[in-house]
Structure 1
Amino acid sequence: MARTRAEDFEEKQHQLLLTAAHVFATQGMDKASMSQIALEAGVSKSLLYHYYPSKDALIFAIIHTHLNELETALQRATDPDLPPGPRLEKLVLTMLEQYRGADDQHIVQLNAGQALSDDQRVRLLQLERRIVRHFSAVICEIHPILDRPERPLLMPVTMSLFGMLNWVYMWFRDGGPVSREDYAKLATTLILEGVKAVR
């Protein structure tokens, strides 16, 4: 007989993924075991394997859930009524807010490497590209010259912005001298003012 889904299934699943992300982030992909994750999450090993039949399935679920939540938040934050500059800043701040408390998931994403199958990597890449397009579309609207066929600089500029945002977890601390709002303005300004000097 198939298991019935508990009313709090999604909440428990979310907590399980958070716990697993913490174990992977602190122990490493190779050292962390499904037994250890089950123990830390307070569930049976059989229940863990019921929902995630392998370690790579669990790692994929952590990253896919993290990226899917980010993409959904960016969709909601996209405001066509805002001028492009403030719209970009709003997207940057949304991304920084989504990163709040998500250091473990971020570390898992950066270090998943060979733990994932080719199919899993392709599916995550498709999701990552949708996330990137939210930003590149606005940057292109602000500086169309970046998308010239003879000198395609739109993607390098966009990924430079991601380079700033994706490493925030290494140094940013809530309650410090720079708030997320401050850094959203700073990162946006660096891009918008910096591209003016790009030839």
Structure 2
Amino acid sequence: MARTQAKDHAAKQEAILEAAARVFASEGFDRASMAALAREAGISKANIYHYYDSKDALLFDLLDSHLKALRDRLVAVKLEGLSPPEKLAALCIEVLLAYQGADNAHRVQSTGMDHLPEDERQILAAYQRDMVRLVSSVVAENAPEVFEHDPAKLRQVTMSVFGMLNWHYMWNAGADDAARRAYGAQVAQLTLGGLKAL
């Protein structure tokens, strides 16, 4: 007979993922143990194995849920009716709002993917490619004459946008909605200003 899930299974699993993000971010994946993860989550080591059979499985689920949610949130931004500069600002702001409360998962993303097998890395990379394609298409809309015959330059500018957004947490930890919106708009302005010089 199949074992039924507890009513609070999803909530406990989410708590485990949040605890894992904290431990992986502070200790590193290699040094973190299942015992430390269980302790941080406030459950027994035996209990954590009801949810994840290994540290690797926990890492993948953490990054998969983080990147999928980020991708889904970004592609859901309503861009219809906006001008190209407004579209870029909307996406930059949404990335920073989506990162709010996810700094630990974001840190783990930058260091943890190499610990996963190739097939799992490809799943996570697909989420990233979806986001890069979206932002890239909007960057291109803002200067089609610059990028029409130079896809390498378009990629460089697109990744520069992500670079400015992705490292925001390093120097502005705990930024609230207003600060994130302001900086997202500033990144868009910096990018648009830079496009004029290309």
The verdict on a shared fold, with TM-score over 0.5 as the criterion, is yes
Q: Tell me if 1:157 matches 2:129.
A: no
Matching residue of 2:83: 83
Aligned residues: 197
Q: Equivalences for 1:1-199 in 2 at 5 Å?
A: 1-149=1-149, 152-174=152-174, 179-198=179-198
Q: State the Cα distance separating 1:150 from its structure 2 match.
A: 5.0
Mapped contact 1:147–1:154 kept (Cα < 8 A):
yes
- For 2:65 and 2:29, the matched residues in 1 are separated by 18
Q: State the Cα distance separating 1:148 from its structure 2 match.
A: 3.1
Moved more, 144-153 or 18-27: 144-153
Mapped contact 1:70–1:98 kept (Cα < 8 A):
yes
Tell me the secondary structure at the aligned position of residue 196 of structure 2. helix
Residue 106 of structure 1 aligns with an amino acid whose one-letter code is H
- For 1:175 and 1:144, the matched residues in 2 are separated by 34
Cα displacement string for residues 94-146 of structure 1 (whole angstroms, at most 9, x for unaligned residues)? 11011111111011101114311111111111110011112111111111234
Mapped contact 1:71–1:131 kept (Cα < 8 A):
yes
- For 1:121 and 1:109, the matched residues in 2 are separated by 11
Q: State the Cα distance separating 1:59 from its structure 2 match.
A: 0.9
- For 1:155 and 1:48, the matched residues in 2 are separated by 41
Q: State the Cα distance separating 1:22 from its structure 2 match.
A: 0.2
TM-score with structure 1 length normalisation?
0.91
Identical-residue share of aligned pairs (%): 42
CA RMSD in angstroms, aligned pairs only: 1.8
Gaps of 5+ in 1: none
Mapped contact 1:136–1:158 kept (Cα < 8 A):
yes
- For 1:112 and 1:151, the matched residues in 2 are separated by 29
Gaps of 5+ in 2: none
